[in-house]
């Protein structure tokens, strides 16, 4: 079961991923998270979401089980299904605890767990059916640093991934003839430079060859150092 941990030290801009991968300031950039990070970086998480157009149909799945340290702190969702994409159950928790009462020092933990994700939108174009049995994404905010980690199990439809998976690793999803129908971006990170982290475990971006425009995201979280 792949597992990756990222740590970001306050304003110093140091980002470290487990397994010997080191990325300096500004090297772990990704598009802003459309769900979790849009709610604010203090501490947020959701199991994923989708927004894409196929032919004349627009497919939208709002963030699944979104939570925030500013509320709601816990959220759970049953299956979220639409044409070409399905999320199974999702459960998220965004909490704040006092670690030093004398100085009111706090620590936030924002985590989401999802099950039974399936992308079938590419099958009609002779592309793969992508499945994930389960996945978890967590972001922890402390006074001088943040850290994030993610893991998954039961992946099918995407093979040949490296270990560890680098930041913003892009894997083409193709037809048998090699035509790229979509790009699966693993470990997509946003590091604004203020010590915060935005992390999407997996984002699938469709290409014009698929006849689809838009993207699907799986497992999102974000957090900032606490005051």
Q: What is the pTM of this model?
A: 0.83
Query: Lowest-pLDDT range, 18-27, 48-57, 176-185, 202-211?
Result: 18-27
Q: How far apart are CA 71 and CA 43, in angstroms?
A: 10
Give pLDDT, residue 193: 82
pLDDT at 155 over 50: yes
The count of residues in the chain is 227
Q: Is 39 helix (H, G, I), strand (E, B) or coil?
A: helix
Residue-range definition of the domain harbouring residue 37: 3-22+29-221
Token output for 84: 């070409």
Strand bridging mode 67-68 / 80-82: unpaired
Assess whether pLDDT exceeds 80 at residue 67: yes
pLDDT of residue 40: 43
Ranking 28-37, 67-76, 138-147, 204-213 by mean pLDDT, the lowest is 28-37
Work out the percent of the chain whose per-residue pLDDT is above 90.
Answer: 74
Average pLDDT, the chain: 84
Asked if the structure places residue 154 within a domain, the reply is: yes
pLDDT grade for 7, boundaries at 50, 70 and 90: low
Q: Can you tell me whether residue 209 is helix, strand or coil?
A: helix
**Nearest CA-CA partner of 38 in 202, 200, 160:** 200
Among 152, 150, 160, CA closest to 131: 152
Does residue 147 lie in a domain region? yes
Would the pLDDT of 37 be above 80?
no
Question: What is the number of domains present in the chain?
Answer: 1
Q: Is the pLDDT of residue 6 over 70?
A: no
The answer to whether residue 75 is domain-embedded is: yes
Q: Is residue 214 part of a domain?
A: yes
CA distance 192 to 190: 6
Is there a cis peptide before residue 116, judged by omega within 30 degrees of 0? no
Residue 64 and residue 225: Cα distance in Å, rounded?
Answer: 25
To which residue do tokens 């699938």 refer?
A: 204
**103-144 residue pLDDT tens:** 999 999 999 999 999 999 999 999 999 999 999 999 999 988
160 domain residue, yes or no: yes
For 18-36, write each residue's pLDDT tens digit: 222 222 222 222 233 433 4
CA distance 9 to 148: 12
**Per-residue DSSP letter, 80:** E
On whether residue 84 sits in a domain, the answer given is yes
Per the domain annotation, does 226 fall within a domain?
Answer: no
Contact indicator for 132, 157 with CB cutoff of 8 Å: no
Residue 227 lies in a domain: no
């Amino acid at each position: 079961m792949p597992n990756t941990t990222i740590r970001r030290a306050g304003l110093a801009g140091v980002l470290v991923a487990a397994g010997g991968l080191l990325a300096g300031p500004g090297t772990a950039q990704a598009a802003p998270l459309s769900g979790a990070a849009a709610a604010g970086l203090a501490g947020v998480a959701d199991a994923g979401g989708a927004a894409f157009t196929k032919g004349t149909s627009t497919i939208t799945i709002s963030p699944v089980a979104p939570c925030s340290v500013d509320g709601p702190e816990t959220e759970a969702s049953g299956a979220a299904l639409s044409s070409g994409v399905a999320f199974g159950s999702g459960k998220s928790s965004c909490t704040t605890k006092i670690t030093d009462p004398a100085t009111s020092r706090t620590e936030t933990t924002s985590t989401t767990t999802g099950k039974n994700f399936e992308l079938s939108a590419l099958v009609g174009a002779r592309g793969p059916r992508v499945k994930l049995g389960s996945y978890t994404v967590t972001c922890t905010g402390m006074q001088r640093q943040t850290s994030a980690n993610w893991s998954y199990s039961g992946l099918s439809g995407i093979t040949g991934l490296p270990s560890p998976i680098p930041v913003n690793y892009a894997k083409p999803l193709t037809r048998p003839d090699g035509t790229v129908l979509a790009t699966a971006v693993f470990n997509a990170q946003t590091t604004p430079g203020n010590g915060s982290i935005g992390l999407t475990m997996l984002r699938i971006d469709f290409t014009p060859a698929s006849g689809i425009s838009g993207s699907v995201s799986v497992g999102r979280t974000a957090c900032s150092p606490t005051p």
